[in-house]
Each structure stands twice: as structure tokens, then as C-alpha cells.
Structure 1
Amino acid sequence: MLIHNADRRMQIYGALLLLPAAVLLGTFAYLPTVSTLVNSLFLPGFRGSPPEFVGLENYALLIEDRTFWRVARNNLVYALGTIPTSIALALGMALFVNARLPGRGFVRMAYFTPTILPMIAAANIWMFFYAPQIGLFNKILGTLGLSGVNWLGDPSVALGSVIVMTIWKEAGFFMIFYLAALQSIPPELKEASDLEGTGRWSFFWRVTFPLLMPTTLFVLINALINAVRVVDHLFILTKGGPNNATNLLLYYVYENAFSFFDRTYAATITVVILLVLAVVATVKFTILDRRTHYQ
């Protein structure tokens, strides 16, 4: 009986420890998700009238919305352009600064500096780089005898310009995780491979990279989320233009909610985004977990 009461007290104690986190998670994650799902089933009320329940009509409108599909295509291109490049660059930088080299601390700080800049500040810096007349990039092109480019005003290059800025901003952040993972790999593995005469690339692909898979999985999920939650630097750089060439999903949600005042349609788009993220994350965990070695 005493053992049973002790177990009961431990369960209550554990539940009380989890209660603050559960309240915060429910208040700021689950409750807004349910509220968004409910709002997506209504049409907004006008002139004080209550919202009208329309079921899945908003989703039918979403399927026929050409702007939404263009924005979704932009976001797919943006994700394919930023995620693999940022991760590969972060891994390369981590391998470089993990080696013994002069001024290693300074190099690490230089790589990580873009990460600590607020996105608004970073966007303003790159606004100067991309400016048509006085921008740094066009000045460099001018010294080479080449004509300048309207980096943010030309629909054919505007999205690529935003992608380049994002890679510059995110690679240093992901590098920190890879650097921490590299430093946790036992040095005895490298010593054993040297005794066996294993080449550097063979050791990387057969030992280092498999041991980095938990970090890669974590970074992939974060990179995917980052590729969808882009608002702030679009607001500074392009505002989704020109002609929706750089408009991405979350910025399209912002436009519908706060520019067009159609919050139920914005909720519909948000639900679709959450469903896509859930499916992609599930596939990633299912596939990559089979190749992941947890120490």
C-alpha cells in the first residue's frame, strides 16, 4: 500500500512539473491551431454581421486561386534553393572551422555573425547590396564593364536574390549544430581510420556523415520550417513583388489577413500549410530515422 501511494505521489509530482509546459503548449500551439481550423470553415461577417458557416467552400476557392498556386510554386522553388544549399554550406563551414587552423575562433565568429543580426537589419543591408543605381553588386558589375541588374525588380531574378540572402543568413546558424556534433565524435575513430589507411573522403562518408544524421534530421526540419515562415525580409525587400514573383505562403497569409482583411481565407491557407508541413515532417522522420544512428 505504501509503495502504491509513493508511486501515486511520484505521478502527481511529475504531472505538476509538466503542467506549466503543457499549459503554454496548449495555449500558444494547440488552441490557435484549433481556432484557425474552425475559422477556415466560415466567411467573414461584414458591417457587424456574424461570420457565416460555409464548410469547405474556402478550400474550394483556394483550389481555384491562381495566385495561391503561384505563391506555392514560389515557395517550393525557395525551399529547394535554400534548404540543400544552406545545409551543405553549413556542413562545409563546420568541417573547416573544426580543423586546426590559425584564427579559428575569428573564422567561427565571422561565419556566425549573420545569424545574430535581426532579419530586418539583414534585409536592409542586402537592400543596399541590391539597389539598382548605388548597390554594391551593380557597382562591381560596372567595374567589370557589365550592365547592372535590377535584382529585386526583375521577376526573373528577384526570387533568386531573396534565396541568396536567406542562405547567407541561415548557413551560419546551421553550422553551429554541425560543429557541436563534430566535436562530439570520438577522436579514436579518426585514429583507427588513420591506422587502417582510410582516405579522408572515405572516412567522411562512412563514419562522419552517418554519425551526423541526427543533426542533419534536426537541421532539415528547422530549415523546412524556416522556408515556410518567411515574412519579415519580404516585407523589407520586395513586398511579394514584382507581380507576385517573390510572394511566399506566409506572406500571402499576411496579405489576406491584414491587407485584404479576409482572415477566414488566411486561416484556410494556414491550415493547408500546417498539413503540408506535418506530412513532410512525417516522411522525413520515417525515411531518415532508418539511416540515423543515435549515440
Structure 2
Amino acid sequence: MGRSKLVKENTAAWIFLLPSFIFLIIFTLYPIIKTVYLSFFQSDLSTNEPVYIGLDNFKVMLEDEVFRKAFINNVWFAIGTVPTSVLLGLLLAILVNRSMKGSGLARTFFFYPVVIPMVTAAFIWLFFYTPEYGMINSLLKVFGAGELNLLGNTETALMAIMVMVIWKEAGFFMVFYLAALQNIPKELMEASYIDGASKWTQFRRIVFPLLMPTTLFSSVIATTNAFKTVDQLVVMTQGGPNNASNLLLYYIYESTFRFMDYGKASTVTVVVLILMLIIAAVQFFGTDRKIHYS
């Protein structure tokens, strides 16, 4: 009788999960399998049907200077945006977690960039960066400084995109850190205060270790976001100048929709998937062992 009830409960659970599994297969598993399959084929405008070429796509990809440039750019982009946006999110959370007048307004102000669509945010920052009449150059003219073309300079284009992404993501991570801070038992803080611990000691010995699960989660999300940046590049730089701001996902976008080379795009996508799996594995299985969840 007990076993029959267990079977009925499991059956009901699987029935409820079935729609999610169907969506997972159609929109996640099938595209991944199809992408891996196409990476071994030549599939572009010169072929009516995909032609099997083995690992040739991977060889051509590694020899492509534009791919190497986009890959290096993306690594630097991740190094610049991931720790900065996560750290800034933590600092903002500490700031608005205090009981002070206007803290609710400050939370709204810091979180507002998150709800703005990426394309809209790109246009906002395009107005800031535009030469001659952009806000930054207008302020420079007031102080008698020279004009800057941040998006048109190979040395500053990628950095300008980084600043926009950090501005966009910091409020997102602030919300998670704020929730984690509010879940820290007050008894721990009061006990450490009675024992004479300073604010810095409390943060270093109590607060920060308890925030490590949130830090791990935020780092994984920020790293994933760093390797799927494309909207703002389409609006602001198109990967220029001279591929100075070209990133992997924009490289895939161009290969697919501009050059119609689906085999090449699939090959780069496979590389990005493998890279993301490696990064996630290192973060979870390396950092996770040093994290206290209780």
C-alpha cells in the first residue's frame, strides 16, 4: 500500500515536471546538439547542403586573427567587469543596508539600471560617449579640456563598454547581497560587539564568510554575462574600431547573420560553451569547498 502511494506521488511529480522537460529539450538540449553537429560541417552560402569537413572549422577558427582578437578582448572584458561589478554590488548593498533616511530611494536609484533594456542602456551611454555633443565632451568643453572619442579609439573602446556593463549589473548583484546581509543573525553581530570586535573584524570574520555563497553565485552570473555581451556592441561600436571592442558573441552574431557561415558560428559557440563549463566547474568545485553555508 505504501509503495503504491509512493508510485502515485512520483508519477504526479513527473507529470508536473513534463512541460519543463519539454521546453528544456526543445530550447536548450536540441540547440546544443544541433550546434555541436554543425561545427563539423561546412555550412555557408557556398554550399547548398552542409558538407562534413571534420575538425577543419576548428583549424580555420584558430588561424583567424579576428577570432583571436575577440577571444583576448573577451578575457580582458571578463577580468575587468566580473570582480568590479560584484564588488561594487557588495559595497552598494552595505551602503543601503543601513537604517538611514532615504535608503529606500537609494535602493531604487541603484537598481534602476537593471530594469532598463540593454539596447536602451546602450543608447543612453552612446549619448554620453558621442563626440562633439555628447555629455562627457560637453562637460570637457566647459572646463576647457580637449575632445574625447572614447568609442572611436582602439585604446578606450573596450573600456567604455566595460563601464556601461558595470553600471548596468552592479545593482543586480546589490539585491542579492542585500538579501544575504539581512539574513545574517543579529545575535552574531551583537556577540562580536560585546567581545570588542571592530567593524572591520566583524566584516572580515563574520559578514564576508557568510556572504561567500552569494559571492559565488554572483561571480558565476557575472562571468556568464561577460561572455554573452552583444546588444550594446551592435548599437555602440559594431566591434570596432579595428575589432578593438569585438567580443566572442558578437563574432558569432556576425558569422551567423552577416556572413551566413553557420558552421563557423557553431564552432565558436562550441568553444564558448566548453569555456563556460570549465569556468563554472572551477568556480563551483574549487571555491565551493571553502564556503560555509550555515
TM-score, L = length of structure 2: 0.97
Q: Per-residue displacement from partner, 1:252-288 (whole Å, max 9, x unpaired)?
A: 0000000011011000000000000000100000111
Match of 2:236 in 1: 237
Q: For 1:110-259, what aligned pairs fall within 5 Å after superposition?
A: 110-259=109-258
CA distance in 1: counterparts of 2:78 and 2:181, whole angstroms: 26
CA distance in 1: counterparts of 2:9 and 2:146, whole angstroms: 72
Quick one: which amino acid aligns to residue 35 of structure 1? K
Secondary structure of 2:161's counterpart equals helix
Check the 8 A contact 2:45/2:261 in 1, yes or no: no
CA distance in 1: counterparts of 2:210 and 2:49, whole angstroms: 56
Secondary structure of 2:48's counterpart equals coil
Check the 8 A contact 2:177/2:214 in 1, yes or no: yes
Report deviation, 1:10.
2.0
Report deviation, 1:234.
0.6
Match of 2:30 in 1: 31
Match of 1:109 in 2: 108
**103-112 vs 17-26, which moves further:** 17-26
CA distance in 1: counterparts of 2:282 and 2:91, whole angstroms: 26
Quick one: which amino acid aligns to residue 194 of structure 2? L
Quick one: which amino acid aligns to residue 257 of structure 1? T
Report deviation, 1:144.
2.4
Quick one: which amino acid aligns to residue 192 of structure 1? A
Q: Per-residue displacement from partner, 1:223-259 (whole Å, max 9, x unpaired)?
A: 0111011111111100100010001000000000000
Gaps of 5+ in 1: none
Quick one: which amino acid aligns to residue 221 of structure 2? N
RMSD: 1.1
Secondary structure of 2:150's counterpart equals coil
Q: Per-residue displacement from partner, 1:26-71 (whole Å, max 9, x unpaired)?
A: 1111111000000111001556731100111101111111110110
Secondary structure of 1:152's counterpart equals helix
Gaps of 5+ in 2: none
Q: 1:74 to 1:47 in 2, by over 3 A?
A: closer
Q: Per-residue displacement from partner, 1:161-209 (whole Å, max 9, x unpaired)?
A: 1101111111011100100111111111111111011011111111101
Report deviation, 1:6.
1.9
Does residue 1:74 correspond to 2:73, yes or no? Answer: yes
CA distance in 1: counterparts of 2:145 and 2:257, whole angstroms: 41
CA distance in 1: counterparts of 2:128 and 2:39, whole angstroms: 40
CA distance in 1: counterparts of 2:91 and 2:47, whole angstroms: 57
CA distance in 2: counterparts of 1:144 and 1:253, whole angstroms: 42
Percent identity at matched positions? Answer: 44
Detail structure 1 runs of 4+ shifted over 4 Å in the superposition. Answer: 45-48
